[in-house]
Amino acid sequence: MENAISIRNLDKTYAGTKKSPPKKALDDVSLDIPKGSIFGLLGPNGAGKSTLINIMAGLVVKTSGEVTVWNSNIDENMRQAKASIGIVPQEINYDPFFTPAKLLDIQAGLYGVPAKERRTMELLKLVGLEDKAEAYTRSLSGGMRRRLMVAKAMVHNPPILVLDEPTAGVDVQLRQDLWRNVKELNRNGVTILLTTHYLEEAEEMCDQIAIINHGKIIANESKEKILARIDTKEIKFRLDRDLAGIPKRLQKYNVEREGKRTLTIRYSPEEHFIGEFIEILRKDGYEIADISTDDSNLEDVFLQMTNSSAA
């Protein structure tokens, strides 16, 4: 599969001052983002996410390495590379005295898009703001302003859209609305690079996820493979009668009793099978009324990997 963005051995060191030493923000980062994907870039504050995005956007000068954006090397053709990316920043920036339609027209003009080629109403419809086209931007809700930022980033029809913490401070309903907008853009062929602190957002949206910590990429795999990295799973058994205690043959496992009839067992899928626990319970005379499992989620993986990389 062709890559929308290709990064090789990227380093960035910020110069120090008299009061502080030089700061290495990116350390030998190599990354491929496939065309047509929704790619998640996760990491704690200060991990290097914003530095990486700003280098691609031409806002920060790299120390060394290569970055290619939509087949344009940023050292050889930064102008074309920048034209291939639309960035939705974490901070909402807009002129409160312009309408959404006017803002998009001005932004398109800044990118040199001829008037007859501008897609103002098409973009407003895409983000669900066509009925607000002539309203003052200051009258829009926070969620609407977020969606307007997405439209603003798309005025020059870039094949890549970078979303930097796009739903920070947005309520659950508005976040889901924005997810739908982004998925629609992706269905229309736009490659999405998403940075977020909301791990459920990455789990819901992304095809592939990279985790960066202390300037290094510590994981870069499909969402399914990353979720499979977690060491433990949890299973609950609700039994047909009250328990006097934890059955003796289960006591060697990581077992807790919840209430009178429920046992919770945490186990490694590589070491144990669910059938082992079922067989023990049945031999002890219990019937299983219900079984529920709690699979690993991205938050478990993220904490496990960032903690281990910091050690």
The answer to whether residues 188 and 243 belong to one domain is no
Which ranges of the chain would DSSP assign to H, the alpha helix? 49-56, 78-83, 100-110, 120-126, 142-153, 172-187, 199-205, 223-227, 274-283, 298-310
For residues 31-46, give the mean pLDDT: 90
The answer to whether residues 116 and 137 belong to one domain is yes
Q: Of 10, 70, 66, which Cα lies nearest the Cα of 193?
A: 70
* Statement: residue 308 has pLDDT above 70: no
The answer to whether residues 84 and 158 belong to one domain is yes
CA 29 to chain centre: 18
- 172-221 pLDDT per residue, tens: 777 777 788 888 889 989 999 998 777 777 888 898 999 888 899 988 88
**The pLDDT value given to residue 297:** 59
In a domain, 301, yes or no: no
Domain end point (choices 205, 227, 249): 227
The answer to whether residues 187 and 287 belong to one domain is no
Question: When comparing pLDDT for 116 and 310, which is higher?
Answer: 116
CA atoms within 13 A on the CB side of 108: 21
- 282-291 pLDDT per residue, tens: 888 898 998 8
**The pLDDT value given to residue 310:** 54
Q: List phi, psi (to 5°) of 66.
A: -125, 140
CATH number at residue 278: 3.30.70.100
For residues 245-270, give the mean pLDDT: 86
* CB neighbour class for 213 (10 Å; exposed up to 12, middle 13-18, buried from 19): buried
The answer to whether residues 132 and 249 belong to one domain is no
Per the structure, the complete domain to which residue 15 belongs is given by: 3-227
The answer to whether residues 255 and 133 belong to one domain is no
Number of domains in the chain: 2
**The pLDDT value given to residue 245:** 87
The answer to whether residues 199 and 277 belong to one domain is no
What percent of the chain lies above the pLDDT cut of 70? 90
CA distance 167 to 204: 13
- In whole angstroms, how large is the CA radius of gyration of the chain? 25
- 209-254 pLDDT per residue, tens: 998 888 999 888 888 887 776 656 788 999 998 988 888 888 888 8
The answer to whether residues 108 and 245 belong to one domain is no
In a domain, 67, yes or no: yes
Q: Which residues contact 131 (CB under 8 A, 6 or more apart)?
A: none
